[in-house]
Structure 1
Amino acid sequence: MAQEPDALLRALHQAYARPLQSYVVRLTGDHALAEDVVQEAMVRAWKHPEVLAREEGATRAWLYTVVRNLVIDDRRSARHARERTTDTTPDTPQPDASQAVLDSWLVADALEELTPEHRAVVVGAYYGGRSVAELAREHQIPEGTVKSRMHYALRALRLALQERGVSA
């Protein structure tokens, strides 16, 4: 007798799984949900063996009613109201930028130790992308002075970074 319900359930699955799945896909347009709903309907049929003993038409009607109710329950659920499925992720993974942020803080802190004249040429050249000639015109100093300030500024910057534990 224990084999009989299992055999009936297998036969029920073979007979109705595909049509039920097609029905749910027509209702929802969601193949994954259709598989889940049909599986849940079969589990409910397994939990209610009296369904397996009914006439074929009554069993079919019961399964379609269960499937329709499961779809309705899903559509009424909070998950359906608040969640949206998508094939693409909303964010593309980004590399961890925390080290770059810490490095920029370290350099900014070291730049604070430079004199305003030295800091101006370093910031103008490295962050502003300006040439020696442009910096000379901007600060109204000779190009040689810009080069000299850059040399001593970089030396002082290297020392300031070494004091903070950065090795060259």
Structure 2
Amino acid sequence: MQKNDAEGGDVNAAAITQQETSAEERRKQVRDEWSACLTALAETRDRSEFSRLFGYFAPRVKAYILRLGMPDATADEVTQEAMLLVWRKAHLFNAAKASASTWIFTLARNQSIDRMRRDKMPLYELPEEEPDPDHRDMGEHLVIEGRMKEAIATLPESQAQVLHLSYYEGKSHSEIADQLGIPLGSVKSRLRLAFSKLKAHWGEDA
């Protein structure tokens, strides 16, 4: 019986190993397919190739940007900007140095940093590259989300309120002012104070 159990364990282990190998092969095929598509776009400037890239990567790029803490409306804008850069800079892509996914998410990361600096959003330590969301480990992002909620909980209610409306509901400063019945300057002042306190909070945790 023990022998049979051992043999069964060996069979199960072999099956799991085979499944893992097959999954990795499929991931490699997907990476190679999109790298070939991006290379073709660089060479031919074929809009159909760009449409394929956009359809696949734009939702993933937006999901990545949203996890960085940007409001939905801003995430849409940054996604459009990042994908436009893919069109404009496709000739710079080198499949020998990086996969299409890594290259595109690096563009998105850089666009996100530029927008965060321009809008005076708190800058956290962003990953150098973002793997395909279909295969990534969510653990790190759950930790970041949890820390973000903890940090917001330390803010005065007035600051937490405007931050929530701006970050999580994607409302403009004027929309927040109208909703809360406060001057536009008060909205901007509360957001500046909130961002400053969040940066200080994260700096102490680092």
Q: TM-score range by the shorter chain?
A: 0.3 to 0.5
Q: Find the structure with the greater CA-based Rg.
A: 1
When normalised by structure 2's length, the TM-score is 0.36
Higher relative contact order (CA 8 A, sep 6+): 2
